[in-house]
Amino acid sequence: MRRLDDHRTLVTGAASGIGRATVLRLLDEGAAVVAADIAADGLAELRAAAADRGAADRLTPLDMNVGDEDSVVDGVRVAVDTLGGLDSLVNAAGILRASHTEQTSTELWNQIIGVNLTGTFLVVRQALPALLVNPRATIVNFSSTSASFAHPYMAAYAASKGGIQSFTHALALEFGGRGLRAVCVAPGSIKSGITDATPGYVPADSDWSLFAKLSPILPTDLESGGAGMGDPTAVAGVIAMLVSEDGAFITGTEIRIDGGTHA
């Protein structure tokens, strides 16, 4: 299915996990994509995967750090110039760190908020002028099931994702009259670089029984740290729907994609 011929999109966090799967799905559906990340090796692998699909001519890798304002200003300008405009923006970039809340330093708190929440804001702010030229543009931001359901040792991460959800609702109301849609996806129990690394971030003296409710109820062959996980393509398919005309009446909400983890 090619719902996105002539569609122009910028995807952050594109070098791995859900961001990578999203780029490949959008390319499969006909979109032209600027894929932004700070991981050069991951972007090179993404370019190779796009070439295998015969879509290398519609992919532009971009070195951009969402946690750095100057990098975002320059990167979004390059993306808009490269694509000749912008029809959608997908903010998949993010980091996860875990610690006991009483041991969380201000530096760590600010790092997580700075990349996840402020980074999302910076990219949206810079992309808005180009998006608003198009009367049917879309922003898809990445929240998380942690924004609404307890995830132990991840207070800063959860706060950043809850902020993204609130930010997205505000965008939807502010710009809905101009045709711009703003939606969150809230993945949970999806295999990615973040989930693979999570056991290494969790404090050594953690109470692992607190993670008992964080497993999908749908069967899956994938896992991270011994827990069942869904495939990133499950989220990518939802994002492709949201930025296409099939999502034309969806805005100001979040879509949870977690295999029933929080059913």
User: Taking the domains of the chain in order of start, what are their residue ranges?
Assistant: 8-228+236-257
Q: How far is CA 71 from CA 76, 107, 119, 129, in A?
A: 8, 21, 11, 17
Strand, helix or coil for residue 197: helix
Fold of the CATH domain 8-228+236-257: Rossmann fold (3.40.50)
Cα(124)–Cα(90) distance, rounded to whole angstroms? 9
pLDDT score for 227 = 79
- Are 115 and 93 a contacting pair, CB within 8 Å? yes
Q: For the segment 72-96, what is each residue's pLDDT rounded down to a tens digit?
A: 999 999 999 999 999 999 999 999 9
Q: For the segment 180-221, what is each residue's pLDDT rounded down to a tens digit?
A: 999 999 999 999 777 677 677 788 888 988 887 788 999 999
pLDDT score for 1 = 67
Give me the active site residues, please: 157
pLDDT lower than 50: segments of the chain = none
Cα(144)–Cα(151) distance, rounded to whole angstroms? 10
As a 3-state breakdown, the chain gives helix, strand, coil percent values, each rounded to 5, of 50, 15, 35
Provide the whole-model pTM: 0.95
Amino acid, single-letter form, for residue 151: H
